[in-house]
Structure 1
Amino acid sequence: MRPIPRSQEPELRGAGMTDAADALPGQSLSRLTSGEQVRLYLRRLIFDGVLRQGQRVPQDAVARALGVSRIPVREALIALEREGWITIIAHRGAFVNALDESSVRDHYELYGLFYGFGARRAVERQGAELGARLAVLQKEIAAAGDPEALQELTARFHGLVVEAAQSPRLRNMLKQMTGIIPGNVFELVPGVQAVEKRGTAAIVRAMKKADAQAAEREYVTMLRNQGDLCVKLFRGRGMFEQPDAEAAPASP
């Protein structure tokens, strides 16, 4: 992502985004800290096209929409800058970064590499027994139709793989990664449910054979395919469009 700030500010009220519940379908904000609420809210505004690349984040409007002070808004902006979503410019404000296709693909490619590494280590350390345990959970994944249930089941599946890998370094790396989709990916990205079900089934088959390299490849393939679907969705939403030619770049 690269910063292309400009001074245009969206009107959240006109976009119908003044209610936090409207911004976050399927999410329970009560379980999040104020800063986390703001961070997820802003990511959803970007995802829905209310905040577009180059636009200034209207901090006061966001604070009013969520009923919080400016402090959690600033905390969220710092976190979002660290994640690459925005750029903070001293004395000017926070601006939405340009989202490019390669950034989205790289994100899912890295997820695939990390989880693939975890799958390989898990098979090397647990053998085919892990595949047998995951097979029970994978049957539930295959039968799940509700996005919320599928999200919970797949989180358990991937969590078991990471746990079996017995790699504290891997767990720390994954904790540092933040999803691109602001909410339930199975609800928001068409086609991801099918990709996840096929992918987890293939991973289990490889693990049952104690084939560590095949399990790693299947993870990479599954997450790469999910990245392709996200790119398709973002392109359709116009999220890769460049700002107007007359937009002024940020001053250093």
Structure 2
Amino acid sequence: MDETNSKGMDSGKNKELAWGAKSSILVFLVSFLAILLPLLLLTQLSLKESTQYFIAESILPIPFFVFFYYWFRKKKIVKKELGLCLPDSNILLVTLVAILLAAIFKGIDLVVFLGAISELTWSRVAIIGGPLFAVSSGLGRVIITPVMEELVHRGVIYGYLRGRFGWRVGLVLQALIFTLVHPNVYQGDFAIILFYFAFGLGFGGLYQFYRSLYPAVICHGALNYFDATVQIVF
């Protein structure tokens, strides 16, 4: 009986592992194509703008994804251990908390730092590219990119660091990594560095508290939406 149960548990875990591996590959490929294909349609962007945008959205995630994929397979991590589950708390309340945190982040940026964290390159390419690119890029920024980044930075990197150093040190380290992989923090503006670090702490804190990537993805997507809306309107 014990041997049968053991085989059943191993089989279930293998299925979870296969599901996670296939899903992670699909998320990465879709996010890559969602950024690359619309970019190829643009004609009014400078080479510098196109290159910066492509590197930021499509190239930088690759090493982290590779790390994630092999670590995922080696450790036989199942989807729940990566936060790929709904939180136990009321889903509506969790959603509102995540959106409120995003609004607070953007409000502080506008009031205190006068919009220093706005991603101007993305705003410019979205406007220049026309309706097709704006919709495609918007979906990428608000849905696909948050899912991929949270899966990698919170689900994998933070999960690894938390297990190795504890949740407090892990939270700080993953926020630092999240900050360093964004190109616009190298503009020399301390406000941008500070805010990206705060974002990393905020997204990681949501994941740690709710044990689910759902609120972190919602907060990340809402923040990108607020950022894009403010740029386009003003």
Query: Per the shorter chain, which TM-score range?
Result: 0.3 to 0.5
Give the structure-2-normalised TM-score: 0.35
Give the structure-1-normalised TM-score: 0.33
Q: Whose helix proportion is higher, 1 or 2?
A: 2
Q: Whose strand proportion is higher, 1 or 2?
A: 1
Rg larger for: 1
